[in-house]
Amino acid sequence: MVTARAEPGAGAIDGRVERLLGQMTLAEKIGQLTLVHVEPGELPGDLRAAVRAGKAGAVLDVVDVATVNELQRIAAHDSRLGIPLLVGRDVIHGFKTVLPIPLGQAAAWNPDLVQQGARMAALEAAASGVNWTFAPMIDIARDPRWGRIAESFGEDSHLAAVLGAAAIRGFQGDGLSRPGAIAACAKHFVGYGASEGGRDYGYVGIPEVDLRNVHMPPFRAAADAGVATFMAAFSDVNGVPASANPFLLRTVLRGEWKFPGFVVSDWDSIVDMVVHGLVANDEEAALAALSAGVDMEMVSTTYRDHLPGLLAAKRIDPRLLDNAVRNVLRVKLQLGLFERTATDPAAYPGVASAANLALARELATQSLVLLQNRNGVLPLAPQRLHSLAVIGPLADDAYEQLGTWAPDGDPALSRTPLQAIRETVGARVTVRHVRAMATTRTVTTAGFTEAVAAASGADASVLFLGEESILSGESHSRASIDLPGNQLDLVRAVKRAGKPVIVVILAGRPLTIEPILAHADAVLYAWHPGVMAGPAIADILFGVESPSGKLPVTFPRVVGQVPLYYAHRSTGKPASQASFLHIDDIAARTPQAGLKNASQYLDAGYAPLYEFGYGLSYTSFTYADIAVAPTRARVGVPISVRAVVRNVGQVAGDEVAQLYVRDLVGSVTRPVRELKGFQRIHLEPGESREVAFQLSADDLAFYGRDLTRAVEPGSFHVWIGGSSSADLRADFELTAD
C-alpha cells in the first residue's frame, strides 16, 4: 500500500536547493529547465545520454512504468548530482478510468466529486511513474466554437475557481511529498479562452480590468490552493505572447501573488514567438521567455541552444537562470522525488477498480443535464415497455464517449449506453439498435429507413447524437456548432414514426440544438461522460436517479449570438421582451426609428436557448423567504443571505441552489449578475431546507477604474434560485462608514 511520510519543511528544502545549485554546471542548470518529449517505444540513446549528463530535467508522455523507472535510475544513480526527473502527462479527466470531460464535471457543480476524481486519476497515473499533470485547465470559456471549451470548467470565474482548487487538492493530495500525489499545473495563464473567433491559438485582446476581474480569479485561487506549477498560455495577450509577458508572469504571478512554484511554457510556445512576430529568431525568443519568467521550456530547445551564448554576452543576468533552476528544484524536492526514485505499481490501488468505476458513474450521473422533458416522457418505466428503439452513431461507441484528451483511456473499460439499457430493461423488453449513421458527420440518409422502421415498432425511441471526440479539444474549433452531418434530419424522420422521441447528446461543447427541440419530447445533455457513460445515462432514462446537472455555460440559439454569457454588462439600452420584434414581424418600409433601440439581434433576440445554471429534474423545487442581514452595513461587514428551498414534486432529488449578486453602481460598469456561491442539496418529496450563504468583503471586491481591488459602497441586488435567471431577490446596501 501507499504509505505516508512527514512533509519536508520549507527551510530544509531551500537549504537543499542552494547546496545543489552551488554544485551545478551551466549545462546542468539549463538541463533542469528542459522538458523533453519522448515518443513511445524504446528509449533513444541520446535521451539516455542527456539524462546521464544532467541535460534533461523533465520528460513528457512516458507512461510505461519500466521506462520511467529506467530513466529515473539513470538520473538518480548515473548522473553527477543525482537529480530525479519530473514525468509529465496530460491527466485531464482521469487516467485509465476516464471521467466526464471537465466541462461535464463542471455541470455536476460538486467540488467534492471533482476532488475525488482528480485524486483517483493521480493515483492511477502515479502507478505508471507520472508525477506531474498538465491540469486543471481553468481558462474562462465563453465561446463554444473554441474546441478547448471541453477542457474548461465553463464560463464563470467563481465556478472555475472553486472547481479548479478542488482538482488541485485532488491531484496534490494532503502534501506533495505523499506517495500518490502528483504536481498539478494551472493552465493556461491567462486569457486563452478568449481567443478571437474561438480559433485556437488566436489573438487575445482583453482590457486589464477584465483580465483581473474575469480571467485571473481562477488562477489566483489555484495559487492560493498551493498549485505547484503554472503553464503560460499559447496566446498573444494584448500584443505580447504570454510566454514573453513579464506583466503576467512577474508583476502579477510572482510579485502580487507570491507564487513560489515554477512556470512551464506550452508546447513549442517559445519558438512560436518568432511566428507571432514578437522576436526575430530563436535566440531572441529564449531571451524574452526567460526574462519574462518562463522557468521551463516544453519540447523546443531554445534554452539549451541559446542561453549559454546569451549569458556569455551578458544579455541575461545569471540570477534569472539561477532563480528558474531554484523554482524547478524546489518542486522536485517538495514531491519527495529524491527519496522515491522508483515506482512500484503494486504499492498503488488497482486501475479501473470497482471503487474507481463507481466514482466515475456517480460523477457522470451528476453531470447529465436534462434540458427538455415534455409531458413527463422521462423517466421511462421498464415495466410498461414492450420494445425500445436505440438509434444513432453514439449509442454503442466505447471510444467516442471518452471525449477529448484521454490519451491513456481504454475503450475496453467503457460501458456503452446500449449495453446499459439492455442490462436495465432485461429480456422482457425488446431493444432494437440501429446505428443509422456511420459517424456523427454522415450526410447520407441510407440508414434512415431502418431507423424509422425500428421507431415505428417501438414504444419509444432513444437517439444518441452529438459530436465525436475528435470534433472538440485542442485545435478543433468549429465555425458552426450545429449538430454535424444529417442528425437533424434523422431526428425529424424518427419523429414522423409518431412515438415518443428522447434525444441524448454526447458532445464536447454546447451545440446549437434549437432546431431539434420541436421534434424531441426529451433532451438529455451528456457531454462526453467517460467510461461509465452507459450506466449513468440508463440510470437517468429509467428513473433510478433524478437528473441534477446544471449548465456551466450558456447555450446559444444560433452561433451568431456568440459570445453569449450570463455575466454580461447591462449596456445603455438593455434588451427585454418588450423591446424585441422579430425580423419576420417587421412591416415593410418600417421607418428606422420605428423599432425600439436595444442591444439585441433582429433575428435571434437577446436571450439564450438555455441560461447558465439551468437544468431540469424529475421533481420541482421552489424558492421562497429570501432574507438578507444586515440590509445596511459598513463595507467589510459580512452579509448573510438565506432562502428556503422546497421539493414540491413526487420524487426525491438533488438541487443546486445558486447565489447571484449585482453591484448596481461601480467605478467601472459591473455585470448584471455574478455567481457568488452554490450548494448541492438533497430533498425528499415535500421536504424543505434553508440554504444560507455569507458574502464577505472579498466576494464583493473588484478591480475598479484605478485597477486596485476594493469593495465600493453602494446598493446591491442578490438572488437565490436554480439558475442565473432566478427571480427571488433581496437588496442590501454598503456604506463607507
Of 115, 225, 99, the C-alpha closest to 171 is 115
Task: Answer whether residue 81 shows pLDDT above 60.
Answer: yes
Residue-wise pLDDT tens digits, 436-449: 999 999 999 999 99
Q: Tell me the average pLDDT across 575-595.
A: 89
pLDDT at 214: 98
CATH code, 621-735: 2.60.40.10
- pLDDT tens digits, residue range 587-636? 999 998 888 899 999 999 899 999 999 999 999 999 999 999 999 999 99
Average pLDDT over residues 48-73: 97
539 is catalytic: no
Distances from the Cα of 283 to the Cα of 279, 304, 498, angstroms: 9, 10, 68
Percent of the chain with pLDDT over 90: 94
Q: What is the pLDDT of residues 668-712, one digit of tens each?
A: 999 999 999 999 999 999 999 999 999 999 999 999 999 999 999
Q: What is the pLDDT of residues 402-422, one digit of tens each?
A: 999 999 999 999 999 999 999
Distance in angstroms (rounded) separating the CA atoms of residues 381 and 336: 54
Going along 366-507, which residue ranges are E strands? 369-373, 387-391, 430-434, 460-466, 501-506
pLDDT digits (tens, 9 = 90+) for 1-16: 444 444 567 789 999 9
DSSP state letter for 429: S
Sequence-distant (6+) residues with CB within 8 A of 303 are 30, 33, 34, 270, 286, 289, 290, 297
What pLDDT does residue 40 have?
Answer: 86
Distance CA 515, CA 285 (A): 48
354-541 and 621-735, same CATH topology: no
Nearest Cα residue to 205 out of 231, 230, 240, 243: 240
Domain boundaries, the chain: 10-341, 354-541, 569-607, 621-735
**Is residue 229 within 8 Å of residue 183, measured between CB atoms?**
yes
- Per-residue pLDDT tens over the stretch 350-406: 888 999 999 999 999 999 999 999 999 999 999 999 999 999 999 999 999 999 999
Does a cis peptide bond (omega within 30 degrees of 0) precede residue 630? yes
For 192, other C-beta atoms within 10 Å of its C-beta total 28
Per annotation, catalytic residue among 266, 282, 295, 396 = 266
Class of domain 10-341: alpha beta
What are 220-258's pLDDT values in tens digits?
A: 999 999 999 999 999 999 999 999 999 999 999 999 999
Average pLDDT, rounded, for the chain? 96
pLDDT of residue 4: 43
Q: Using 50, 70 and 90 to split pLDDT, how confident is the model at 577?
A: confident
State the Rg of the chain over Cα. 27
Contacts of 255 (CB under 8 A, 6+ apart): none
pTM strictly above 0.85:
yes
C-alpha cell at 472: 472538440
- DSSP of 238-296, one letter per residue? TTEEGGG-HIIIIIIIIIIT---SEEE--TTTTTHHHHHTSSSSHHHHHHHHHHHT--B
Number of residues assigned to the chain: 737
Contact 354, 92 (CB under 8 A): no
Find the helix or strand (DSSP H, E) in which 733 lies: strand 729-735
Show the 3-state SS of 6-34: CCCCHHHHHHHHHHHHHHCCHHHHHHHCE
CATH classification number, 354-541, choose in 3.90.25.10, 3.40.50.1700, 3.90.700.10, 3.40.1530.20? 3.40.50.1700
Predicted confidence at residue 8, as pLDDT, reads 62
**84, 76 in Cβ contact below 8 A?**
yes
Task: Report how far residue 527's alpha carbon sits from residue 403's, in angstroms, rounded to the nearest whole number.
Answer: 8
Dist CA 175 CA 110 (whole Å)? 22
The whole-angstrom separation of Cα 137 and Cα 145 is 17
Per DSSP, the three-state class of 118 is: helix
- Mean pLDDT, to the nearest integer, of 562-584? 93
124-172 confidence digits (pLDDT tens): 999 999 999 999 999 999 999 999 999 999 999 999 999 999 999 999 9
Strand runs (DSSP E) across 637-686, as ranges? 639-647, 653-663, 674-683
Cα separation, 698 vs 404, whole angstroms: 35
